[in-house]
Each structure stands twice: as C-alpha cells, then as structure tokens.
Amino acid sequence: MQLKLIGIAKFNLLVLLSITIYSSFAQNSQSVPLNIGDDAPGLEVSQWLKGNPIQTFEKGKVYVLEFWATWCKPCIAATPHLSTLARQYRNKIIVLGIDVYEKNMHIEKVKSFMNKMGDLMDYSVAADKNKFMETYWVKGSGNDGIPKTIIVNEDGKVAWIGHPKDLEQVIPKILDYTWDIKQALAKRNLNKYLANLDDSLNYELMIYGGDYFKQDYIGKPDAALLAINEIVMKEPRLKYAPFIAFNTFSSLLKTNTQKAYEYGKVAMVTPTYEAPAFEAIIGAIESYSDKLNLPEEIYELGADAYRMKIDQTPYPEIVNMPRYYHLMAWWCWLAKNKPKAIVAEQTAVSTLKSREFYSQSELNVYIAQLDLYKVCSVDE
C-alpha cells in the first residue's frame, strides 16, 4: 500500500515568496526620515486610554514605544510579553502602547478592547492623533508594518527600532550603557540595503524559473545558477539571503540534489539581514515535491527546516502550529524516518486538541494520518 498525505492542499510558496515584503531603500541614495541615533519626534496623541499620561520625553528616562492596533494579531500576542517587561523593569523603563491604523474605530471600542485585555496590557496606552504617530514614527522609520517597537534612550535619542520579540536582548544593554548606537545604526542600514537588493534581484531571477503551472516548470536552472554566481561575486553577503536562497536551492533541486542538500544545510543556519532562510528551503521543497523525484535527504532537510520554523515562531498561538507538525511528519515519513513521523504527527494531534477552539475535521485528518504511520512501513 502506498501511503499518501491526507487532506493537504498545495501551498504555492513560489508565488508567495515573489511578493514584495520589504520597503525599498537604495544603498547610498535614500535614507529614512527617522533612524537610530536621531532625536525622537514629539508625542502627539488624541487621548491617553490607560496609565499615566506622558507629555514629553524627559531626559534621564528610557521609553519603549509599542505601535499596535486592535485588529493586529501579532500585536495582541505581544502584549503579555510587553507587560512582563514593563513589570520587570519598573522604574527603569516606561512602556507606551500607541494605537495606530484604526479605520473608523471609535475610541470607545478601543477602550472596550483594552478592558478585555486587563492586566495583559499592563502599561500606559494612547491613541494616535491625526495620524501623527503613524506618519512620523511608524512610516517615518522606514517600514509601515506593526507591531513595531522604538526605544528612546535617556538622551532623547532613538536607540533601537525593531520587533517586540527582540526586546529582551536589547533593553538590558541600553540600561547598562553597553548598547552601541552607531553599531546598531550601521547594522540596520546594512540590513535594509541587503533586503532591498535581495528583493530586487528576485524579480530579475524570475525569468529563469519557468512556468510553475505548465509543463515548462523546470525553466533554466543552469542559467539561474550562473546569474546567481555573478550576483554573489559582486555581493557575497547575499549568498544565503532569503530570496537568493530560494532561487539557488530551487535551481539546485532541478540540477543536483546533493549540492542542493549541502547548500540548504548551510542556508538554514546562516543569518543575513534576517533569520536564516529555512522558509526558503520549505518553500522550494513544497513547490517542487510533486514535480521532481526528490531523494530522502531533501525531505530530511525539509523536516529540519520545519523544526526551525516551529522553534522560531514568536507567537505560536496565532499560527496553525498543528499543521506545521503535520507537514513535518509527512516529510519525516518521506525521509523514511518512521519514529520521527509518528512523534511529529502525535504532536500535531496534541497541539490541536490543546486549543480552546479547533476543527474536528482537521483533528480527524491528523488522527487518521497517525494511524497510517503506525501500521504502514516506510518502504511500502
């Protein structure tokens, strides 16, 4: 009996990865209006909804501004962690939640939302005024997305701009005066340059990719690899960047799976302008698993990539973590690792059942798959 994966819809990450997810910044010709080391803009809020009102940034105090919205799930998931930090560093930092991007949202609805959060939002909160905070802080710092955190140091300077998940590593250094603003600025500018370049070159490489939905899905992988080699010779720091990694790994899957495996092993643990490119490895395998005869070691690599994705998901409660385990189990099976497949599928079942609300049909799929893993042989 040939075992198949039950109930998994094809998710075309080839298309997903070609969407622009970074703002455009040229290496030396453009800069953001607000960057690390700049004087912090003023505070313009319509109303303080919770906590002590803050009129201006006082010298000698550290402020952590968290930009959020009631509809933003990652923002909401970050609030308990922010509250923990606010309590942990009480009298050392002042955490301010600034509500932005609310369309046609009456202020009373925002208050009602906050009341439901209770102590999970245990810091001062204010609402934006005439999009001032959105314009000069969120968009002004070079990326429209939220959640976004900006730290203002004791001198009234922007000390850090990033995601709230990384605050635990940054706050102690700012408080003990070991945070190097110049180094942080240089790193941020370099990351923006690499992200922009990686994104732009991804569009150039698409001409070699072939048409995924037609017979010509192979495209011109040898030409793609030659083009990538030229790119990396000019800018070596792009070798394992997410989009370059996706194009490289995809092309190698079509030409030399052993080289694909060797490249993928390094790409998955090499950070560039963001976390290592394990998402690119998952996306490439997902895209071509039903078109190419991939060897066991590639699926083993894919299962390891899913393990990294699971471990590095900052807010697992807002993503379909059970499905991640389900897909990881399938790739463990294709790698002929029955014990790991069973453990991963069991985790998919238990993780789904631990949630307050879940789909019974989804649970039935996972249980049925688990039963098949237990009774079938990987060699069938």
Quote the pLDDT of residue 213: 72
Q: Where in the chain is the domain with CATH 1.25.40?
A: 13-21+197-375
pLDDT tens sequence across 4-20: 676 544 333 333 333 33
Quote the pLDDT of residue 12: 35
Question: Do the beta carbons of residue 274 and residue 245 sit within 8 Å?
Answer: no
Residue with more model confidence, 330 or 115: 330
How far from chain centre, in Å, is Cα 57?
Answer: 31
Quote the pLDDT of residue 9: 42
Task: Determine if residue 37 is left, alpha or beta; phi over 0 gives left, psi from -120 to 50 gives alpha, anything else beta.
Answer: left
Q: Which of 298, 277, 272, 288 is nearest to 221 (CA)?
A: 288
Average pLDDT over residues 48-68: 95
Quote the pLDDT of residue 7: 57
Average pLDDT over residues 273-291: 94
Tokens of 162: 């990033």
Domain covering 13-21+197-375 assigned CATH 1.25.40 in the classification: yes
Quote the pLDDT of residue 105: 72
Residue 31 has pLDDT above 70, yes or no: no
Residue 3 has pLDDT above 90, yes or no: no
Query: For 45-179, CATH number?
Result: 3.40.30.10
On the CB side of 26, how many CA atoms lie within 13 Å of its CA?
3
Quote the pLDDT of residue 28: 37
Average pLDDT over residues 245-261: 97
Question: Do the beta carbons of residue 231 and residue 274 sit within 8 Å?
Answer: no
Residue 23 has pLDDT above 70, yes or no: no
Tokens of 198: 């990686």
Residue 77 has pLDDT above 90, yes or no: yes
Q: What percent of the chain has pLDDT over 90?
A: 82
Residue 207 has pLDDT above 70, yes or no: yes
Q: Where in the chain is the domain with CATH 3.40.30.10?
A: 45-179
pLDDT tens sequence across 230-252: 999 999 999 999 999 999 999 99
Residue with more model confidence, 51 or 214: 51
State how far the Cα of 365 lies from the Cα of 373, in Å rounded to an integer.
Answer: 12
Question: Strand, helix or coil at 96?
Answer: strand
Quote the pLDDT of residue 24: 35
Q: What does each C-alpha distance from 311 to 50, 62, 245, 271, 307 come to in angstroms?
A: 34, 31, 20, 15, 6
Quote the pLDDT of residue 104: 76
Q: What does each C-alpha distance from 259 to 225, 255, 345, 370 come to in angstroms?
A: 12, 9, 29, 32
Quote the pLDDT of residue 378: 86
Average pLDDT over residues 355-369: 96
Quote the pLDDT of residue 20: 31
Residue 32's pLDDT band (cuts 50, 70, 90): low
Question: Strand, helix or coil at 98?
Answer: strand
Quote the pLDDT of residue 11: 30
Residue with more model confidence, 266 or 274: 266
What is the pLDDT of the chain when averaged over all its residues?
A: 90
pLDDT tens sequence across 87-136: 999 999 999 999 999 987 778 889 999 999 999 999 999 999 999 999 99
Quote the pLDDT of residue 17: 37
Which one-letter DSSP state was computed for residue 157? B
Quote the pLDDT of residue 282: 98
Which one-letter DSSP state was computed for residue 41? P
Quote the pLDDT of residue 143: 84
